[in-house]
Chain A
Amino acid sequence: MTIPFPQIHWAYLLPVLLVVGGAVFVLMWDAFFPQRERSFLVTLTLAVLASALGASLAAQPGSEAASMGGMYLYDGFTRFVFALILLSSFFSVLLSAAQRSLEEVPAGDYLGLILFATSGMMLMAATRSLLMVFVGLEIFSLALYVLAGFLRGQPEGNEAALKYFLLGSFASGFLLYGMALIFGATGSVDLMEIAQRLTTSPPSRSPAFLLGLGFVVVGLGFKVAAAPFYMWTPDVYEGSPTAVTAFMSVGPKVAAFAAFFRLLLAVGPRAGAELDAILWVMAVLTMTAGNVSAIWQSNIKRMLAYSSIAHAGYILVALAAVRRGSDLATGSFLFYMLVYALMNMGAFCVVVAAGARGEERTRIEDYAGLGYTRPALAAAMALFMVSLAGIPPTGGFVAKFYLFSAAVKVGFVWLPVIAVLNSVVSVSYYLRLVVLMYMREPGEAPARPGLLGPGWSYALAALVLAAAGVLNFGIFPSSFFELALRSTLLLN
């Protein structure tokens, strides 16, 4: 018996290979040349991510999108999601380089883990197979568990890592059990085959299949921080190093949502009518819980954590719309994630940069009077807050507008209304920070600005990039939205 050699499109695989290769290289380099400059490894990592981004942008998805029997799938959707994931990794490397408290950690281990996590996210998003979804998810989850507790001396970091790990593994159990049930009901782990068997064979919607779907929703819901599976998020975000938190708030969500989208696109039209109510309730609960909890927070990382939960709720609206077969919703999702990545990364970048000269500034009170002591930083933060709140003319507004109008188009009425109501509520805590920065005197005499650390240039680069993006997508969103819409063409 001969085993057929699987068909491989190297150009399509190149982005992932670059990232994995880069990860191994960075890890090894540090092991062999531990004395080398840290900035060298940072530059190298950035170069790896940039070249992977270039490779994925260069690889135009063709008709032969599937490699290795559907294990790896390179279509327009993959391409856009790759860009998002690589962008968020790029940002978090910049932030890591700028963050004071991360200066002493072994750079090779740290950056290697970030690259490994990136590769896991990419694999999770670029597949049709439940097996690869699981493997990709575990690759990035394991890396993130470690990254969460990377500052070993800090009790908060340890606690964050432990909580993330225990609950994450618990959720993985649910995900896997669901996959097993789906496999049992349909005899396949390939989403395309599953979709086919759901239409052809008689037991199209066996209880086992539905239960399996439910378990998978739980597992993915955990990763995207949907209610009621979101509770780990604030603790983990607060306890992790800020750069890692920024990474966690974007990358894994993109990947998990991408998998969620593929799942719903495959099985949604045929078997998922029952999912409608679940997605509806999850979306409402998630955004509401996120927003009302955020109002209370006094720690900025925790506030941003709840804010990211709320945003996950908005994206779940897009998921519900996709379930009803809306291409616009997929495009809106991609665009939303793009804007979300920029504004969220930007906000975390301000948190890092505000603390770059010494103590971390994590209490919201610490930001009082920032508008006077560091006007540029405060202006950037105000921009990101306004965008997160969804106020025009920023990208956040346009993204929300797309998202909600997609939901309106497929006939949802109350869901967008509740979402709008929520974003109205959310304005209060975002603007509270703005008010604090501009309308209050600095708490104590501002520390005399010392010399800027070497990380400052990295933070500046990230800030400028994010701010320009947020404004650009607010004022000239059309070309990127077209791109996001076109990226959905080759799906299914």
Chain B
Amino acid sequence: MTYILLFPLAGVLVNLLFGFRRGERFAGRVATGAMGLAFLASAAAFLSLLGLPPGQRALRAFLFEWIPVGGLQVKASFLLDPLSSTMTLVVTGVGFLIHLYSMGYMHGDRGAVRYFIYLNLFSFSMLTLVLGDNFLVLFVGWEAVGLCSYLLIGFWHERDSAAEAGKKAFVVNRVGDFCFLIALFLIFGRFGSLDFGVVLPQAAATLGAGSGAATLICLLLFGGATGKSAQFPLHVWLPDAMEGPTPVSALIHAATMVTAGVYMVARTSALFALSPFAMGVVATVGALTLLMAGSIAVAQNDIKRVLAYSTVSQLGYMFLAAGVGAYTAAIFHLVTHAFFKALLFLGSGSVIHSLHGEQDIRRMGGLRAGLPVTSWTFTVGALAIAGIFPFAGFFSKDAILFAAMTSPRGGLVFWLAGAAGAFMTAFYMFRLVFKTFHGKCSLPIEQQARLHESPRVMLLPLQALAVLSVVGGWMGLPLVRGADLFGGFLSPVFPKMGGEHHEVVLEVAMMLVSLAIALLGIFVAYGFYVRGQGVGAAYGRRWPRLYRLLLNKYYVDEAYDRFIVQPVKRASIWAWHAFEDGLIDAAVNGAGAAVEAAGGAVRRLQTGYVKSYAVAMLAGAFAILVYLTVRGG
């Protein structure tokens, strides 16, 4: 199990020592090979875990005593249980594919060797995060992934916006880290330990259900999670983080790092179980985020920004699930999301790559002909995220929606939020698909001529991820007893929530409803971005009934436009400006500016004159003496 960690680290070291001399090809191969080996090691670890009886599936690897604090020990040790095993498989599996893809994508970039070092370092840190057996090791990984993300966002540092984005990510994540650290100290203060094996089982006995301490700790932990996982109101950094290379967006800002917050909440579910209030906050923030980010995604025109807001929105789903106690569903969605969001990002990277850096979807269109593989894989990803049966997203999103409705902590409001989010997801994804790959190409002619599909090394991961996006959901089949392998594997990790008996009729009905919602979203997008552009006629001949339906109900389109699309668009633009620019940016920049201004003011005291220093000393001495006289006299 330690091999999982060892391989990426070895990759970093080898590339540090030889990479710069041997060049980009070598570095890419080493890095990718290291990830491949790490994946094999994770798979082996997973199998050995499966060999154990379900109740005892936890392997611990103890390395050494790390920090002894007054008689208590913090160990450098790792824990492999179903939860961390799932995470390692995702991180190494998707990570491997993205490494492979990067070999093509970064080809010819001057900083490619550096890039692969960062990428391996990131994988190592992320694995440390998910494998850590106590809060402190988790925190080590937490900080390290933040650092790598920071380095990779600013990777193309020639761009000013990249530097600016790095700074924003940095400031926002500081807020989260601050909450997390305080939570650590509180936990340490209350439990006298930071081991998961000590804290989590004793949580109920030490803190007491519903106590203020439990709520405080949970809220602080969740504060950390909102920073890392880009939840409202700390989500602002993620869309800007798209300044990094696209494979990085796929790996760090979609598939793995941003899910660290979800993982952390799931890991500490025993604590959250003690505080219904904190769980409510988690669910509410999740629901709010998924609605807000989803609506913003509708109005974006940069292909990566759409995907970024979509990521924020999907992370909102995961938190919604976690907040209503459906941790299995949250992790399930995390896994499937890793597949299809990585696929979508890599696909968009392929588009950007072949268009030499163009990211505006208004200037794309009709790329299906030039980029067939990218086009179909991207469509698969879009179907998956929209939640169309039998693609992966259908099962995981359905699990979340079902839990949001039926869980004792859920309710109709959460379900409505999730359903509305599902509609928006389908709508903006297919808006993207239609505008990018269908319709008339709005590129200049000479660029159209040069249009070419990406190299094989980039297409292979796309195809693999497309397959995963289709079949990935089948490991959590609902309805059939015993077929929910995923849930069965994970559930021993999480606290039991009441009322878990499934009513088949209800579940089927809800599945159909959510499927219908998703189809409706696609349909609306189709109406607007295909038909609206006049090329609908061609489609109309192929599907005459659908065409007629659309044609005859043209006023529905208008109604849609007036009552749905325009308001959503307006609301989305309003939300974008109000939240992003008005509120949060102002807060973030304000905090930064306040610190800087304070620095400026304090610095001004530093006049350079001996006398003003002497005056300050005297004033300080005077204050101390007066205080002592008053207190002691």
Contact = CB atoms under 8 A, between A and B. Distances in A.
* Any A–B CB pair closer than 8 Å: yes
Interface string B99-120: 0000000000000000000000
A232 B616 CA distance: 11
A481 B68 contact: yes
Contact of B154 (A210, A274, A439): A439
Interface string B589-633: 000000110111011011010101110110111001101110111
Contacts of B20: 375
Contacts of A464: none
A421 B177 CA distance: 10
A277 interface: yes
Contacts of B610: 162-163, 166-167
Contacts of B64: 476, 478
Contact of A218 (B68, B157, B166, B617): B617
A289 B603 CA distance: 8
Contact of B616 (A205, A211, A231, A477): A231
B174 A424 contact: yes
Interface stretch (A56-64, A138-146, A402-410): A402-410
Interface stretch (B182-190, B242-250, B348-356, B362-370): B182-190
B632 A227 contact: no
Interface in A251-310: 274, 277-278, 288-289, 292-296
A278 B627 contact: yes
Interface string B48-84: 0000000000000000111111100000100000000
B221 to A, nearest CB: 15
A293 B143 contact: no
B191 interface: no
Contacts of B389: none
B133 to A, nearest CB: 15
A184 B130 CA distance: 62
B182 to A, nearest CB: 6
A393 B140 contact: yes
A420 B182 contact: yes
A22 to B, nearest CB: 34
A6 to B, nearest CB: 35
Interface string A475-492: 111100110010000000
Interface residues of B, number: 58
B181 interface: yes
Contacts of B629: 207, 210-211
A232 B610 CA distance: 8
B595 A228 contact: no
A475 B599 contact: no
B140 A402 contact: no
Nearest to A407: B185
Contacts of B605: 231
B151 interface: yes
A478 B599 CA distance: 37
B606 A231 contact: yes
A267 to B, nearest CB: 13
A183 interface: no
Contacts of A234: 606
Contacts of B171: 428
A214 B602 contact: no
A398 B627 contact: no
B263 to A, nearest CB: 18
Contact of B599 (A227, A296, A431): A296
B3 interface: no
A417 interface: yes
A235 interface: yes
Interface string B132-175: 00001001100110010011001001000001001000110010
Contacts of A478: 64-68
Contacts of B140: 392-393
Given A402-B67, A477-B67, A228 B606 contact: no
Contacts of A210: 628-629, 631-633
Contact of B66 (A171, A431, A477): A477
A235 B608 contact: yes
Given A277-B631, A431-B170, A477-B67, 16 more contacts: A167-B613, A205-B632, A210-B633, A211-B629, A214-B621, A215-B621, A222-B617, A228-B617, A296-B599, A296-B600, A328-B70, A401-B67, A405-B69, A428-B170, A435-B166, A439-B157
Leading 9 A-B pairs by shortest Cβ distance: A292-B599, A439-B157, A228-B620, A210-B632, A392-B140, A231-B613, A218-B621, A274-B631, A292-B598
